[in-house]
Chains A and B, each alone.
Chain A
Amino acid sequence: MLSMQHISKVFRTDTVETHALKDFSLQVNEGDFVAVTGPSGSGKTTFLNIAGLLETFDGGEYTLDGESVKGLKDNTLSRLRNEKIGFIFQSFNLIPDLNLYDNVDVPLRYRNLSKAERKRRIEESLDVVGLANRMKHIPAQLSGGQQQRVAIARALAGQPRFLLADEPTGNLDSQMAESVMELLESINANGTTIVMVTHDPNLAARAQRHITVRDGQVTENEREPKVVSQLRA
């Protein structure tokens, strides 16, 4: 599904070079739920941005769903993001003056779908996250947890092959975080690959895989399916 081999990324200013990723290699398989942890500045977000085709890389090879993304043009990268990747952000990134229906509609607008098909997908996605009855509300009328659910619905509406989540529960209280995490687990159970960056070791422990990033490299890579009910206990 996602294969990174020896990826490097350097941020340069006039005086400073920062090696965000150094010889970063990772293989994510179809259906995985991967948690990525690491201290601040370790390169987690840079990895996520490169994985989501939001950032270019300087060296190495990155293959997404069997296609090398190196040197692809902007339009092709946009199409790949639209068709294969769903994003969930810590701060939800909803457009404040669009109602829930129109927020979920955003990625679909760039995919030449009929109005009826878009409507079907939007309603289905909002139903999955339990907000089908609040389609005409604007984000400000929702709680943080509900807003994150809308963001998840937006990501799901595009029917992506995998979801990239950057601290999806970072702005939520524990009860809301639990609810969002359960939703992500259910989405993963339906076959969607998820890569989630988190600082929360408890959430990381609930993923099938847990990788740790330090100084721009993968330092630990555990694959041990958890029994979620046991962890909750």
Chain B
Amino acid sequence: MLGYYLKLAWLSIKRNPILSALMVTAIALGIGASMTTLTVNYMMSNNPIPSKSDQLYYVQLDNWDPNDPFDEPNEPPDQVTFRDALNLLHANKAERQVAMAKTNFIVEPDNQEVKPFHARGRLTSKDFFPMFSVPFLYGQGWNQAADDNGDLVVVITKALNEKLFNGENSVGQSLRMQGEQYRIVGVMDTWEPTPHFYDVTNGAFGEQEDVYVPFILKRDLELPNSGNTNCWKTPEGDGFKAFLQSECVNYQFWAELPDNNAKDNYMSFLNSYVMEQKKLGRFPRPLNNRLSDVMEWMKKQGVVADDAKMMMYMSFMFLLVCLLNTIGLLLTKFVGKAGEIALRRAVGASRTQLYWQHLVETGLIGFAGGIFGLLLAWAGLAGVRHLYGDNLKPDLATLDMKLVLIGIALAVVSSMLAGLYPTWRACRIPPAGQLKTQ
């Protein structure tokens, strides 16, 4: 019967093209607004590393001002100091661990035709690549010795490799950055986790780094700070080394802990570490260390902004208003079909069969509304991308297949729900009176 109902639905839609167009438009507007905001929220709250998001923990140590927490009511800083990052890295107590910071480089290509350019850099340690499942096109990450010795090695992105080496295998080649000659050890394949979970403190949706170099080069080459730096007291002394020894936080630290036991052990280690540091006059606040897995950390950091959530709720309210309008239009349409409904009842259609016939019709209207709504959402997301420009990764405001299917399903189901009452009303009209008055 579904084929028959679809045929009847199509005829009914054609019979009242203006009314049908109004309903499709109402649903399309509601779906367009909802899917635009839903897409942004969905991408913002996406699990960027589902295979191990519950094994990767962000480390927070509370080295802050004894009289004033980093954040109310009693939140520890969202990054760690250089020396804590280095100490935790050297302690090597987790299955894998990584200390990181953002930095900047000026790349000076050997090819004289390519002008020097600015590159986003990440100081990190060898575990970064296996820990975050970074795929490689050529080569691999560096080894422990490179971390320990501060070797001038670099991993570059596929895009940079395209730019400098036309996409050919550049492993073993050198790359000059800020006067130093780095040896390329790996070329990453496409890797664009969204959100940018491993460093949300510097923007969860910013552009990815172009080059990755050993963490210790921060100290050895006195590489510049980039990203958010917070201090609760001024460094003791002048110069770069004093800054690195200060209580200023500018570094991220992640530990890979495969199970709860490992997590408990690591927390004990952190507590012991802080107790040791207290003996050196640091960490004046009570013990307040934190381990947050990927999703917890993104939630804590408010990766999905409150205003984005509010916009999503408002857009769903708008969809509801559109559906209420659709209910009114469907009532008009179905009451206008009372004669046909009465005839069908007279010749043997049950109420259930008529319900289905009309729900299929509303579903078809919803489907059309969903398709047009997705076109509106596509335009809306293009507007979002245009509005935020380089501050937003392009794929953050992009409909994927899952969202397209969600949009269509939302349109069809919500239209069918909107059609329940008009259908019920139409099918309750006594057929006898309608047949006589036709």
Contacts and interface: CB of A to CB of B under 8 A. Distances in A.
Interface string A137-165: 00000000000000000100010000000
Given A54-B435, A97-B14, A97-B15, A74 B347 contact: no
Nearest to B431: A54
Interface stretch (B306-314, B336-344, B372-380): B336-344
A54 B436 CA distance: 12
Given A93-B438, A95-B343, A97-B15, A81 B432 contact: no
Nearest to A84: B348
Given A97-B11, A97-B15, A106-B343, A74 B350 contact: yes
Contacts of A89: 435-436, 438
B240 to A, nearest CB: 82
A152 to B, nearest CB: 13
B4 A109 contact: yes
B345 to A, nearest CB: 7
Contact of A79 (B340, B345, B348, B431): B348
Nearest to A151: B343
A29 B344 CA distance: 27
B305 interface: no
Interface string B142-179: 00000000000000000000000000000000000000
Interface residues of B, number: 25
B114 interface: no
A96 B438 CA distance: 12
A107 interface: yes
A170 to B, nearest CB: 11
B15 A81 contact: no
Interface string B1-34: 1001000000100110000000000000000000
Nearest to B438: A91
B348 A82 contact: yes
B347 A87 contact: yes
Interface of B: 1, 4, 11, 14-15, 339-340, 342-353, 430-432, 435-436, 438
The 8 closest A-B pairs by CB, nearest first: A82-B348, A107-B347, A78-B350, A49-B432, A91-B438, A110-B348, A54-B432, A93-B343
Interface of A: 45, 49, 52, 54-55, 74-75, 78-79, 81-83, 87, 89-93, 95-98, 106-107, 109-111, 154, 158, 166
13 contacts: A54-B345, A54-B430, A55-B432, A78-B345, A81-B346, A90-B436, A93-B438, A97-B11, A106-B347, A107-B348, A110-B350, A111-B348, A158-B347
